[in-house]
Structure 1
Amino acid sequence: MTSLLTNNGAMVALQTLKSVNASLSETQGQISTGKKVDNAKQNAAVWAISKTMESDVNGFKAVQESLSLGESTVAVARQASETVTDLLGEIKTRIASATGENVDRTKLTNEINSLKEQIGSVVGAAQFNGLNLVNGGGGTSVLSSLDRAGSGVSAETIAVAAQDLSQADYAAKNTFSTTVAVGGASVSTAADAFSLTVDAGSNASIGLNGTDTLVEGDSVSITIGDRTASYTVTASDVTGSSDVAEIAAQGLKAAVDNLGITGLTVEYAASGTPASDQLTFNVAGGGQDLTISGQFKNAGSGGLAALETLSIGTPADARTALGTIETLINTTINAGAAFGTVENRISIQKDFVSGLSDSVKSGIGALVDADMEETSARLQALQVQQQLATQSLSIANQGPQQLLSLFR
């Protein structure tokens, strides 16, 4: 039935044209933006996910900047530690020369003092953006990642511990007493540092001199070969009823035992010769001779504070200074190793965050980016459909005019 009031064919053609035009408009939008999901109206779930991940990518940029800054700061500290190690090695050669009899101690002392000053200059200049990790100040933390969980986002950091290589605030306490068997006789000294060689099959003793009061933060260390054991006096040590030197000696013994050096045993005695709170080092026969050095450090003093009291006035002083410098070299080596380890970790994390950021960007693209080959083909198809729908509407609108011929 043909009706003058209702043109069903035209209505169908019109709806088809509207649908084609809507699809064409959407496709043209994808071509112009490059995205198949550009707003929440198009796909709310995908749009929400993409926006969340885009915010994470922006956060990764801040993480990468933080890691770059931290890596540079640690690199400066590591370089300073390595330089100080080399300078201490130079001091060691002068001290070794001073153990002889016929040497110019004045010239050697001047050279050592010059090297001390250079160490101070290196430590003082080892800062990046105002942060110095080797001058006795505090450490820092480096933003390393933003971890997303169901409860939200949390910031993770890499802790960077400071290594004190300053020479400040040292006060002599004459804490160590040593007795070393030499040809059936005894040689005793009382100093803040000592160095001795214990032959295989023999022993040597040290004591923590109880006449000097140990306070919280004071520490004693023993270096054997390339390994160091130490004990630091705590607040509870000082406030307790026990003798502080006794606690420190026992703590030092436990630390040396934990080194696990083959052929070495350490015995503790609360009293005896040379002094109370004595540690005796026994080296098993058939083993190898062990060089043992000890160092006392005041609370709050710098890691290289013992440089201030180095003396090579006599061959005996030089031999004691040799043990001190060996301990200080181990301090800087440990500092350089610590900085190297954390610098490597920061570098690995920086590379990881960079790769992670790229992966997340690829994931976002897979969700929202338009397939341009497919979109281009769809555009051409829709343009043809638009032409056909327009033609169909034109034909449908011409149908009622044919009724005029019936009335002629």
Structure 2
Amino acid sequence: MSSILTNNGAMVALQTLKSVNKNLEMTQNAISTGKDVATAKDNSAVWAISKVMESDVQGFNAIKDSLALGESTVAVARNASETVTDLLTQMKEKIVAAQEDNVDRGKINDDVTALRDQIASVVGAAQFNGLNLVDGSAGTASILSSLDRDSSGAVNSSSISVASQDLSIGGYTAKGVLAGSGGATTDNDVAGFTMDKAGGSGDIVIDSSTDNFEVGDSVSIRVGDQDVSYTIQASDLDPSGTYDDAYTDAFVAVGLKNQVDALGITGVAVDYDSGSPNTLSFTTGTATAGADADQDITVTAQFTNAGSGGLGALSSIDVSTDAGAAAALGTIETLIDTSIDAAAAFGSAQGRIETQQDFVSKLTDSFKSGIGSMVDADMEETSARLQALQVQQQLATQSLSIANQAPQSILSLFR
């Protein structure tokens, strides 16, 4: 039966053409984006899984940066430990030479002292981004190493712990000998204050009446961005045999004042008061021109306790005498073992970090491959599908055209 009101053939052809056009649009989108699942409407379950995995990939990229920072920090500490080991080995060579009676022990002792100062310099400079793992101040450093996702979707972070090693010769402590005034804030190891450029003042009090100075102890002062320090010598102690804090404190105060004066900081003056306790009084506003006359000045003081660090025994090494040279030989062996243990510990930690870096890199690549297998389009298959759909579109269009012309044949029945 033919009808001019209902063209079933045209309706079938139209639905076929719509279906072909829809599939063709999806194929063209896959070619444009490179993905079979580009949005949640394409496949909500696969899209959701891929987005979770993509967020993990971004997290692991951040972990790569954390591991790189941690690896660099540990590498600096390891290099410093190895350098200290080399310097201690050189020192051992000097100490062994000092065992002979017919050598100039004074000159050898000077070499030992120079090596000790170099060790202190290496330890002080061995920091990366402000973190020093060899001066005994850092404790344990935690390096972010992984993100762990369990079956419920909860995420926890993992870290690699790196214990610091104390290769310092002296540790920082207040020891009760320092006090700052002039609006000072004082913590466990630093006394200080800030002076206004227009005219300010403050005092650094040096008072060892409660905790006696020892040979090798030192006090350092920073004025603005410049440092000076004074180290206690045997001659600074009271020759009477009974410790007199005022006697020793005077040497420290005067020594520090002379060094601060030598800095020549414009707009800052320091005076010495020999009263009990010994006091250094700082004032600003003493000049109207110069590099430092137009800025506030911060003054801080810090005490170094000789012999309190991991290599503190270096402070007592003195090969200028036969007895000192003999004692130093046993001491240096212990110190070399300490530095070797530190280098080995950092080497082990660095190796672990590098292994984790390699694992995270491979894990990230695996995640990316997994995401790609779920959402990326197979371009060979998509190309073949495009060709087929284009032919289907042409055929469906031709079929619809034929179906639309069918009612025209009915007119011939009425001629």
Give the 5 Å matches for 1:7-406: 7-138=7-138, 139-149=140-150, 150-169=152-171, 301-406=308-413
Assess if the C-alpha contact under 8 Å between 1:66 and 1:142 holds in 2.
yes
Report if the CA contact (8 A) 1:99-1:316 is conserved.
Answer: no
Distance 1:366 1:384, change over 3 A: same
Post-superposition CA distance 1:162-209 (Å, at most 9, x none)? 0011111499xxxxxxxxxxxxxxxxxxxxxxxxxxxxxxxxxxxxxx
Q: How far off is 1:319 after superposition?
A: 1.7
The alpha-carbon deviation at position 342 of structure 1 amounts to 0.3
Q: Which residue of 1 aligns with 2:179?
A: none
**Percent of pairs identical after alignment?**
67
TM-score by length of 2: 0.66
SS in 2 for 1:159: strand
Distance 1:169 1:72 in 2: 25
Aligned residues of 1:134 and 1:164 also touching (Cα < 8 A): yes
Tell me, in whole angstroms, the C-alpha distance in 1 between the residues paired with 2:364 and 2:114. Answer: 50
Cα distance, 1:323 vs structure 2: 0.9
Counterpart-to-counterpart distance in 2, 1:85 and 1:159: 24
- Could you list the structure 1 runs, at least 4 aligned residues long, displaced by more than 6 angstroms after superposition: none
**1:62-98 deviation line (CA, Å, top 9, x unaligned):** 0111111111111110000000001111111111122
CA contact (8 A) 2:136 2:164 kept: yes
Cα deviation, 1:130-161, whole Å, max 9, x if unaligned, reads: 11111121131111111111241111110111
Aligned residues: 282
Q: Which amino acid aligns with 2:147?
A: L
Q: What 5-or-longer segments of structure 1 have no aligned partner?
A: 172-297
Q: Is the 8 A contact 2:10 2:400 kept in 1?
A: yes
Does the Cα contact within 8 Å between 1:170 and 1:302 map onto a contact in 2? Answer: no
Q: Is the 8 A contact 2:134 2:167 kept in 1?
A: yes
Residue aligning to 2:294: none
Instruction: Give the partner amino acid of 2:347.
Output: G
Paired AA for residue 306 in structure 1? A
Contact persistence 1:84–1:119 (CA under 8 A): yes
| Equivalent residue letter for 1:158 | I
Query: Which structure 2 segments of 5+ residues have no match?
Result: 174-304
SS at match of 1:88: helix
Once the two structures are superposed, residues 238-284 of structure 1 have per-residue CA deviations (whole angstroms, 9 ceiling, x without a partner) of xxxxxxxxxxxxxxxxxxxxxxxxxxxxxxxxxxxxxxxxxxxxxxx
CA–CA separation in structure 1 for the residues paired with 2:172 and 2:19: 87
Call closer, same or farther: CA 1:320–1:12 in 2, change over 3 Å: same
8 Å CA contact retained: 2:84, 2:122: yes
DSSP-derived class of the 1:160 partner: strand
Alpha-carbon shift at residue 129 of structure 1 (Å): 1.1
SS at match of 1:144: strand
Counterparts of 1:355 and 1:404, CA distance in 2 = 74
Change in CA separation of 1:66 and 1:106 when aligned onto 2, cut-off 3 Å: same
Deviation at 1:315, TM superposition (A): 2.2
**Inter-CA distance 320–299: structure 2 relative to 1 (3 Å threshold):** closer
- Corresponding letter in the other structure for 1:34: G
Between the aligned partners of 1:62 and 1:301, the Cα distance in structure 2 is 39
Shift of 1:404: 1.0
**Corresponding residue SS for 2:149:** strand
Letter aligned with residue 141 of structure 1: S
Structure 1 residue 4, shift from structure 2 partner: 1.3
Alpha-carbon separation, structure 1, partners of 2:81 and 2:110? 23
For 1:359 and 1:47, the matched residues in 2 are separated by 18
Alpha-carbon offset, residue 406 of structure 1: 1.3
SS at 2:170 equivalent? coil
Deviation at 1:317, TM superposition (A): 2.3
The one-letter code of the counterpart of 1:164 is D
Please tell me the residue identity of whatever aligns with 1:358.
D
| Contact 1:30 1:370 (8 Å CA) reproduced | yes
Mapped to 1, the partners of 2:166 and 2:153 lie a distance apart of: 39
**Residue equivalent to 1:6:** 6
Separation in structure 1 between the aligned mates of residue 307 and residue 117 of structure 2, nearest angstrom: 20
Q: What is the rounded CA distance, in whole Å, between the counterparts of 1:299 and 1:396 in structure 2?
A: 103
* Pairwise CA RMSD: 1.7
1:365 deviates by: 0.6
After superposition, the Cα gap between the structure-2 partners of 1:141 and 1:383, relative to the gap in structure 1 and judged at 3 Å, is same
Check conservation: 1:170, 1:305, Cα contact below 8 A.
no
Say whether the 8 Å CA contact 2:169–2:311 is kept in structure 1. yes
Indicate how the Cα distance of structure 1 residues 15 and 120 shifts in structure 2: closer, same or farther if over 3 A, else same. Answer: same
CA distance in 2, matches of 1:115, 1:299: 16
Counterpart-to-counterpart distance in 1, 2:37 and 2:43:
6
CA distance in 2, matches of 1:299, 1:40: 67
Residue in structure 1 matched with residue 269 of structure 2 by the alignment: none
Shift of 1:103: 1.9
